[in-house]
Amino acid sequence: MIELLDLKDRKLISELDFNARAPLSELGKKLGLSKQVVKYRIDKLQKKGIIKGFYSDINASKLGYEIFLVYLKFHNLTSKIETEFIRHISSQNYVGVNVSLNGLWDFCIGIWAKNSIHFKKIYQKIMRNYEKYVKSKTIMIETYFYYFKSRQILGGSNEVQVQMSQELRSFKLDEIDEILLDELSKNARISLVKLAEKTNMTANGIHNRIKRLEKENIVFGYRVMLDYSKLGFSHHRVFLHLDNLTTKKRKEIISFIGNQKQTVSITETIGYCELEFRSITKDINEFYELIEKIKKQFSEYIKEYNSILYFKFHETLNYFPISKKSKAQVVQSTGRASIIKKENTKLDSN
């Protein structure tokens, strides 16, 4: 039901994606609207459930983490236990993706971990009371990401908006950095004033901090979380099992899939498959036409494909699931506040 959105709403959604922190005045200039009308339109899209929230793309690899995707097939899972399970998973640290599926699996959990041993410990801890309901599971490690704007909303180019590799590095965050990333991951549009209140810093100091995190490539961009089903779209994840793949051919396949207007992301993985992508399609016919187009183009390399349908995301995506919940309280202590005061002076002078 994309037709239910007028051109201004479609442009607004497109502007917000990858730039969700844009001020209302900036958005208004691009749309030819007052900032009051822009705010009204954003609020309306949120009330309708089309916009579920705003989150930040945060580079796990720059912080020394890998992303493990765990796909679960359940058995003997009652509605009551499922509700408990979803609530439990939503409350866990290290869990960034938490979504119900239709298809080959029933559920997907995205876990941030420093290595395979760390992942095992996290998984065993959070699944301790629920592993007995798991009939089977499949684990993948994400390595490279390519994210695109949804061209089904407005059209536009196939330019990659975000490209991320999982070459692990260790950028050291301090307490203030962690609070900022935690807050930005929950609400990318949170104001500098509110962030300043949460950290005991000045708005100017916060602004400089955020710019540094962007410059260090820790924050890629600020995204809008959409409920595509409210717009009449189906949201699939497709898993491609590839063979006889050279580096050149891999790039060719990625380029071809990225050029399709239905594609919103491509991921290279280790484990279940070699390549996967997410698609937004108007109906099942468009989805199968997309698959056939890709299979026809690369028939000698694609051994098999599988797909799942995203059913429901539980909580807005959290791309900083490693924050320590006590940090917000820590900065209120007298000792820490004095340290922050000194840093305010330093940052404000930059």
pLDDT tens profile 308-335: 999 888 876 678 999 764 333 333 333 3
The low-confidence residues of the chain, meaning pLDDT below 50, are 325-350
Q: What pLDDT is attached to residue 117?
A: 97
Residue of 21, 59, 322, 23 lying closest to 182 (CA atoms): 322
| E strand spans, the chain | 51-58, 66-74, 95-103, 107-113, 134-147, 162-165, 219-226, 234-242, 263-270, 275-281, 302-313
Q: Please give the model's pTM, rounded to 2 decimal places.
A: 0.85
Q: What pLDDT is attached to residue 323?
A: 77
* β-pairing verdict for 302-313 and 234-242: antiparallel
Given the structure tokens 């005991």, which residue do they identify? 200
Cα 23 to Cα 19: distance, rounded to the nearest angstrom: 10
Q: What pLDDT is attached to residue 168?
A: 61
**Paired tokens of 102:** 């239709």
**Paired tokens of 249:** 């051919």
Q: What pLDDT is attached to residue 3?
A: 62
Q: What pLDDT is attached to residue 317?
A: 67
The distance of Cα 153 from the centroid of its chain, to the nearest Å, equals 18
Q: What pLDDT is attached to residue 350?
A: 39
Q: What pLDDT is attached to residue 338?
A: 35
Residue of 94, 221, 217, 117 lying closest to 165 (CA atoms): 217
Side-chain half-sphere exposure of 36, counting CA atoms within 13 A: 0
Cα 279 to Cα 150: distance, rounded to the nearest angstrom: 9
Beta-carbon contacts of 203 under 8 Å, excluding residues fewer than 6 positions away, are 192, 193, 195, 196
Q: What pLDDT is attached to residue 346?
A: 42
Q: What pLDDT is attached to residue 344?
A: 43
Cα 117 to Cα 200: distance, rounded to the nearest angstrom: 37
Cα 350 to Cα 207: distance, rounded to the nearest angstrom: 11
